[in-house]
Amino acid sequence: MWGFSGLVVAATSLGLILKHHWVESQPNEWLLVIRNGILIKAGVGLKTFVGLSDTVVKFPSKVEKVEFRANNVTK
């Protein structure tokens, strides 16, 4: 009886750990995974597992039109 209960507890714990380390972003969001200050993964709509020490950043992705004009004077 205790063997089955232990198995259920272990399976539940494993499921919670995996759920905690699974991150995903929406199709209109960037997801950055940073480990020790180095960018590991980046993408829009990304789904991935992350480690204990990884930092996850999400922010919206928007396409913006940028126009640039310059008047340069040269010799």
pLDDT of residue 14: 76
Alpha carbon 42 to chain centroid, angstroms: 7
Strands, sheet with 38-44, edge to edge from the N-terminal-most edge strand: 38-44, 29-35, 55-60
- pLDDT tens-digit series, residues 25-69: 999 899 999 999 899 999 998 999 998 889 998 988 876 666 777
Nearest to 47 by CA among 59, 29, 61: 29
Domain locations in the chain as residue ranges = 23-75
pTM of the model: 0.63
